[in-house]
Amino acid sequence: MRAVINIKEKDDKRGKKGQKELIVEGTGFKQVMTTMGVIGEQTISNHITEVEQVLGIEAVRRMIINKIQFTMSGHGIYVDPCHCMLLGDVMTYKVHHNTSEAPPHLLELHLTYLHRAKS
């Protein structure tokens, strides 16, 4: 695991200019969240499996929704939040419950997304 302390250069939704944030690469999401001085509620991970193990499938659903909205808005594309929520529901339900019943193209989409998110 590698950690870097970053001092924010501008205000954003996660904090104000001059505040410090801890950026950690690798695994150990639970250990980072429970580290003294770290605000666990503001801790973010892009490792789907770890988030599911630590916070549950609803947190993974929210993570997928946020990632879709962030990626699309970065390209100047607006997607109705309801559509993002629906996609998050479908992806987490099929992967979490019974992937054998998922249509092959949907399962492939899930596995591709999970693979990319882990990278």
Q: What is the per-residue pLDDT across 85-116, written as a single tens digit (0 to 9) for each?
A: 988 988 887 665 555 554 454 445 555 555 55
Instruction: Report domain extents, the chain.
Output: 2-42, 48-118
Q: What share of the chain is helix, strand, coil (3-state, %, to 5)?
A: 55, 10, 30
Tens of pLDDT along 34-93? 888 888 888 888 888 888 889 988 999 999 999 999 899 999 999 999 899 988 988 887
Distance between CA 104 and CA 23 in Å, rounded? 37
Distance between CA 109 and CA 40 in Å, rounded? 31
